[in-house]
A and B are shown apart, each in its own frame.
Chain A
Amino acid sequence: MAKIRIPPGIRAAWMGARRFWYKFSKNRLSVIGLIAVVIVILLAIFARQIAPYPAHAGRFVDFANASRPPSMTYLLGTDVVGRDILSRIFFGFRFSLLMGVIVLALVVPPGVVLGLVAGYWKGRWIDTLIMRVTDVFLAVPPLVLSLAIASVLKPNLFNAMIAVSLMWWPWYCRLVYGITSSVRTEFFVQAAEVAGASKAHILFREILPNCVSPILTKMSLDMGWVILLGAALSFVGLGVQPPRPGLGTMVADGAKYMPDSWWIAVFPALAIMFVVLGFNLLGDGLRDVLSVEEV
């Protein structure tokens, strides 16, 4: 059998991935978190195929089967207009994940870039400018700011994302700022400077790779928080609008009927808990594995 030449770079990456898994899998909770997250992602993607009553996610009424407790036909029961809760939860995961992904996509790049710039030129005016702006945004309690913004704009998921993004970016800026200001004095950065490397190279090719692990960890933990925040906004009516099956919206709908038709609010709430806990455990596990490998 001929020996296949694997490019050394890919081989090294594969070994790194195996080593990562070895360390990661040692912590049972992290693996549980990973499994939970994978389940949620799969359910969200294949909601239409997996959900028993996919049509219930949209405009659908069936008063004959309204407010039915959990049974064999409706595993988690139905809500006041007869929609299957289980199916709606699957679709609800879509909105949750979408919220998390889009907010992080909006927040991470500018936060990271600003953090790099402020940290590298620490002590100069650009540092002061960026960090004081960051401080202003951080001073406002997150929920209050999101509520304020979301209520000014038209209430829908998109605007909820904007609101959350505006108060989330400073955290990434701070994180990267801290790492950058300590890394920039390391010898390898000095070496690059002495060699005459451009500032762009130093920031993005020398310093940034050293920030990736904490950023990834934070992103994973943040997914949970952003989803929670999104659910909170939906709960007060500023996020996902009915009849869309946002998890927070569903909890809001069902809250009125507690404790008689408890399943209408409780199951969506448990779903929120499931996804948030999953991301938190995953993030903790990532942090434990990644933080040991630092310089």
Chain B
Amino acid sequence: MLELTDLCKYFPVQGGILRRKVGEVRAVDGVDLRVAKGEILGLVGESGSGKSTLGYTIVGIYDPTRGSITFKGSDLVARRRHDQRAVSKEVQIVFQDPGSSLNPKRTIKQTLELPLKIHRVGASRKERLAILKELMRTVELPEPYLYRSPSALSGGQRQRVAVARSLASRPDFLVLDEPTSALDVSVQAKLTRLLLSLREELDLTYVFITHDLSLMRNVATSVAIMYLGKTCEIAEAEPFFAQPLHPYTQMLLSSIPVVSEEEEKHKPKQVIPSGEIPSPVNIPSGCSFRTRCPSVMDICSVQDPVFREVLPGHHVRCHLYGLEVGAE
């Protein structure tokens, strides 16, 4: 349904008195990705990985610097330039921070009505109200909350409103940017369940951006790990968790503080993370992970590894797996 080819998003860094471009932040640097209909792609990474930037580029908040986005067979960027409203009907986003994703000065009703009005869903005020009530029911919020302002709602409830807003135009594709990260654990569970059931009911496809691999273990159909703008490893969920290949993936998994002994056994052998995540302005040469990689080799500082399919359906960008001659 969605295909990204060599997608790049660079931000210029301006400096000096004349504010000339002195460098660039390569937030997203050559990402190839495919999301099939009905999938949940878990896009996982830490800060600086570019996962949110990637999500925003898909949704149209940013224009790509290079590369293409193909959605349902056609070029999304071109379509968006031609008719932004039509595209926004199909591709929507749920933002991370429930505090600021709803306008504090507008009631829930006003916030939810906006996409309805824009896309002319519902011919009259009465019809729109009926649709709003239906939306509230879908996200399991009581109707009277329509007349409240966001400050009267809890974080979990606000996120439900954000989800309702994204569903108002009946999209096919949702980008979810860490929708549960700011919430308490018990509230997270409920919201995640809601998101999963909505996907079933409404036949949606998700790109689920998060840093929480435990969550993806239970939600994602395929997982993509990002580090400093590039993808490290992409695979379907089962093979991914059964056999994480990239050293960074292993480091991530072993760093997760888990809550039970059984989970400890599922973690790869302890990889003690070292060093800081490099700043995206100053990405290390060759493989960007080499400064922290426990298996670093000489070739890693010279050449950036190619993103290749090492096992069926399992892609990795790492020299550890690139040395077989004639492997693919």
Q: A186 within 8 Å of B by Cβ?
A: yes
Given contacts A195-B118, A195-B165, 6 further A-B contacts (CB under 8 A): A12-B149, A187-B100, A194-B61, A196-B119, A209-B105, A295-B104
Q: A197 within 8 Å of B by Cβ?
A: yes
Bitwise, B96-126 to A at CB < 8 A (1) or not (0) is 1101111111110001001100110000000
Q: A61 within 8 Å of B by Cβ?
A: no
| Distance, CA A140 to CA B263, complexed state (A) | 70
Q: B282 within 8 Å of A by Cβ?
A: no
Cross-chain contact A190 with B169 (CB below 8 angstroms): no
Q: A212 within 8 Å of B by Cβ?
A: yes
Chain A interfacial positions (CB closer than 8 Å to B): 8-9, 12, 186-197, 201, 205-206, 209-210, 212, 294-295
| Residues of chain A lying within 8 A (CB to CB) of residue B95 | 187, 190-191
Count contacts on B: residues with CB < 8 A to the other chain: 33
Cross-chain contact A210 with B169 (CB below 8 angstroms): no
Cross-chain contact A186 with B147 (CB below 8 angstroms): no
> Of A8, A188, A210, which one neighbours B101 at CB under 8 angstroms?
A188
Cross-chain contact B61 with A190 (CB below 8 angstroms): yes
| Residues of chain A lying within 8 A (CB to CB) of residue B99 | 295
- Interchain pairs with CB closer than 8 A, number: 67
Give the residues from 64 to 121 in chain B that come closer than 8 angstroms, CB to CB, to chain A: 84-85, 88-89, 92-93, 95-97, 99-107, 111, 114-115, 118-119
| Distance, CA A12 to CA B95, complexed state (A) | 27
| Residues of chain B lying within 8 A (CB to CB) of residue A12 | 107, 147-149
| Residues of chain B lying within 8 A (CB to CB) of residue A196 | 84-85, 88-89, 115, 118-119
Q: B60 within 8 Å of A by Cβ?
A: yes
| Residues of chain B lying within 8 A (CB to CB) of residue A190 | 61, 95
> Of B93, B102, B144, which one neighbours A188 at CB under 8 angstroms?
B102
Query: Which of B88, B99, B101, B105 has the most chain A CB within a 10 Å cutoff?
Result: B105
| Distance, CA A209 to CA B106, complexed state (A) | 8
- Which A-B residue pairs are the 4 nearest by beta carbons? A209-B105, A8-B147, A187-B101, A196-B85
Cross-chain contact A197 with B100 (CB below 8 angstroms): no
Q: B59 within 8 Å of A by Cβ?
A: yes
| Distance, CA A295 to CA B103, complexed state (A) | 9
| Residues of chain B lying within 8 A (CB to CB) of residue A9 | 107, 147
Cross-chain contact B88 with A212 (CB below 8 angstroms): no
| Distance, CA A186 to CA B84, complexed state (A) | 20
> Of B84, B100, B101, B106, which one neighbours A206 at CB under 8 angstroms?
B106
Residue of A with least CB distance to B116: A195
| Residues of chain B lying within 8 A (CB to CB) of residue A192 | 103, 114
Cross-chain contact B169 with A195 (CB below 8 angstroms): yes
| Residues of chain A lying within 8 A (CB to CB) of residue B119 | 196
| Residues of chain A lying within 8 A (CB to CB) of residue B88 | 194-196
Residue of A with least CB distance to B98: A187
Cross-chain contact A212 with B118 (CB below 8 angstroms): no
Residue of A with least CB distance to B118: A196
Cross-chain contact B85 with A210 (CB below 8 angstroms): no
